[in-house]
Structure 1
Amino acid sequence: MISYPARKISTPNDQLNVLQITDLHLSTLKVNADDGSESKPSCQHSFEAILKQALSENIRCDLILVTGDLVNEVKPAIYNHIFKVLQATNIPFACIAGNHDVTDETNSELPFFQRELIPQLADSRLLSRHVIDTDYWQLLLIDSAVPGKVAGEVTAVDIDWLCTQLSACNKPALIALHHHVLPMDSDWIDAHIADNTDSFWQRTAAFSHLRVIISGHTHQEQVRHHHGVTVYSTPSTCYQFKPYEDEFTYDNNARPGYRWLQLANNGQVASWVKRLDT
Structure 2
Amino acid sequence: MLSYPTYRVNNPDGPLNILQITDMHLLPLASTDNAEDHGDAKPNCRHCFEANLAQALAEDIRCDLIVVTGDLVSKVETATYDYVFEVLHNTQIPFACIAGNHDVTDESSHDLPFDQRELMARTMDSRLLSQHVIETDFWQLLLLDSSTPGKISGAVTEADMDWLCAQLETCDKPALLAVHHHVMPMYSEWIDAHMIENADYFWQRVAPYAHLKVIISGHTHQEQVRYRNGVTVYSTPSTCYQFMPYKDDFSYDKQAHAGYRWLQLANNGNLASWVKRLDTW
The normalised TM-score by structure 2 is: 0.95
Give the whole-Å Cα distance in 2 for the aligned partners of 1:277 and 1:179.
27
Match of 1:95 in 2: 97
Aligned twin of 2:124: 122
List structure 1 runs of 4+ shifted beyond 3 angstroms: none
1:114-149 CA-to-partner distances (Å, cap 9, x unmatched) read 000000000000001000000100000000000000
Code of the residue aligned with 1:184 in structure 2: it is M
Matched residue, 1:15: 15
**Counterpart position of 1:61:** 63
- 1:155 positional shift: 1.3
- Alpha-carbon distance in structure 2 between the residues aligned to 1:155 and 1:144: 8
Residue 183 (structure 2) aligns with: 181
Superposed CA deviations along residues 167-190 of structure 1, whole A, max 9, x for unmatched, are 000000000000000000000000
Deviation at 1:196, TM superposition (A): 1.2
- Pair 1:28 & 2:28 matched: yes
Which position in structure 2 is the counterpart of 1:36?
none
Unmatched 5+ residue regions in structure 2?
36-43
Matched letter for residue 82 of structure 1: V
Cα distance in 2 between the residues matched to 1:128 and 1:154: 11
Match of 1:214 among 213, 216, 234: 216
Structure 2 matches for 1:153-172, cutoff 5 A? 153-172=155-174
Distance (Å, rounded) in 2 between the aligned partners of 1:256 and 1:21: 10
Q: Please give the alpha-carbon distance, in whole angstroms, between the structure 2 residues aligned to 1:229 and 1:105.
A: 34
- CA distance in 1: counterparts of 2:29 and 2:129, whole angstroms: 25
Is the aligned partner of 1:251 residue 2:253? yes
**Cα distance in 1 for residues equivalent to 2:268 and 2:199:** 28
For residues 30 and 224 of structure 1, the distance between their equivalents in structure 2, rounded to whole angstroms, comes to 39
Aligned equivalent of 1:228: 230
**How far apart are 1:30 and its partner, in Å?**
4.4
What CA distance in whole angstroms lies between the structure 2 residues aligned with 1:11 and 1:100?
Answer: 33
The corresponding residue for 1:202 is 204
Q: Quote the offset at 1:14 in angstroms.
A: 3.3
Structure 1 unaligned runs (5+)? Answer: 33-38
Q: When the two structures are superposed, what TM-score results if normalisation uses the length of structure 1? A: 0.96
| Counterpart position of 1:46 | 48
SS at 1:194 equivalent: coil
Q: Distance in 2 between matches of 1:269 and 1:5?
A: 24
Separation (CA, whole Å) in 2 of partners of 1:152 and 1:67 = 13
Higher share in strand: 1
| Count of residue pairs the alignment pairs up | 272
Give distance in 1, aligned partners of 2:31 and 2:47: 15
Q: Following the alignment from structure 1 to structure 2, what is the Cα–Cα distance between the partners of residues 10 and 205?
A: 29
AA matched with 1:189: I
Q: Which amino acid aligns with 1:253?
A: Q
Instruction: Confirm or deny that 1:4 pairs with 2:7.
Output: no
In 1, distance between residues paired with 2:91 and 2:185? 34
Cα shift readout 1:212-242 (whole Å, capped 9, x = no counterpart):
0000000000001100000000000000000
Partner of 2:41: none
Name the CA distance, whole Å, in 2 between partners of 1:246 and 1:17: 35
Which one-letter code corresponds to 1:218 in the other structure?
T
Give percent identity, aligned residues only: 65
Q: Counterpart amino acid of 2:222?
A: Q
Which residue number in structure 2 is paired with residue 35 of structure 1? none
**SS of corresponding position for 1:217:** coil
Residue 195 (structure 1) shift: 1.4
Q: Deviations over 1:81-113 (max 9, x none)?
A: 000000000000000000000000001111111
